[in-house]
Structure 1
């Protein structure tokens, strides 16, 4: 009987998951979320391997194995010119004290993620406490356009927006308001919030709408 694959605790999901290459016929390297976490803690935040093991609630030998595997994959990505994607693994997302309470808004029409941020007529707004959905409500908007909608969400105290298509101007307005943007999502709106909490949200940070010059007045279309 094989050894059980123990769940590893990770403290933060990567903001960027897909890295492309100019090389033709390249391979796709998959870096697991646990491997990513060892790089984040040890190389980026300068924790020791022992501290990393304590935070991930695994043995130091497991950290060493994950860390070595991660560095090997990253070196192949850099030197051999392959693509890389951060995805998968056997993990549980942990929240720091500052992240235990947050407010997530999803562009939503008829329960589904609406694909045109600048024309979104309503948002599903969820209050998150201790890593769970504490309450949710539908908020109808009486305006359109990226600047106006960013203002509405900021007044509601929203921390994170999950959406489908969104233009560069809208992203800039949301980022300026301190709101994190997770574009490229689809499907049931409430399910996307739950997926984000669990660390399994399927989104694409490169997703954008194509706008013409009056995008911030709400006149745009997505392809």
Structure 2
């Protein structure tokens, strides 16, 4: 399974709409097999879904996200897990092991029902 996380420094980018880097990880049998970084620009909505599909993304983990972007992503059959914050490696490791990402990784002020954890 290919999982993408929006990245800013070593943390999840707080706002998807202004993110410019994705960490893409291949996960098999609860282990991270391969990781790479890809540049992308969510400002170009027409290319967003094309880029995510090209990268083979099945799950996208991000911070806050606008309704237009979340609708586009979900229309591509990509599982969206929004309103997540924290250290990218810790979030990725938890997700790979099948651990729930909420409430410990939820952004401040968010509830579990705000996210699709």
Aligned positions of 1:176-187 closer than 5 A: 176-187=75-86
Contact 1:112 1:189 in 2 (8 A): yes
Distance in 2 (alpha carbons) for counterparts of 1:128 and 1:165: 24
Equivalent of 2:101 in 189, 201, 210:
201
| 1:140 aligned to which of 34, 39, 48 | 39
The one of 30, 34, 55 aligned to 1:131? 30
Q: Is the 8 A contact 1:106 1:124 kept in 2?
A: yes
Structure 1 unaligned blocks of 5 or more: 1-101, 208-223
Distance in 1, Cα, partners of 2:62 & 2:44: 13
Counterpart of 1:114 (choices 13, 20, 23) is 13
Whole-angstrom CA distance in 2 between matches of 1:123 and 1:151: 14
Higher RCO, 1 or 2 (CA under 8 Å, sep at least 6)? 2
- Runs of 4+ in structure 1 deviating by more than 3 angstroms, as ranges, are none
What is the rounded CA distance, in whole Å, between the counterparts of 2:63 and 2:53 in structure 1? 19
- Unpaired runs of 5+ residues, structure 2, are 107-111
SS at match of 2:114: coil
Verify the 8 A CA contact 1:103 1:128 in the aligned structure 2.
Answer: yes
Which is further off, 186-195 or 103-112? 186-195
* Higher Rg: 1
The equivalences for 1:1-223 within 5 A come to 102-141=1-40, 143-145=41-43, 147=45, 148-198=47-97, 199-202=99-102, 203=106, 204=112, 206=114
Partners of 1:109 and 1:150 lie apart in 2 by: 21
Cα separation, 2, equivalents of 1:146 and 1:206 = 25
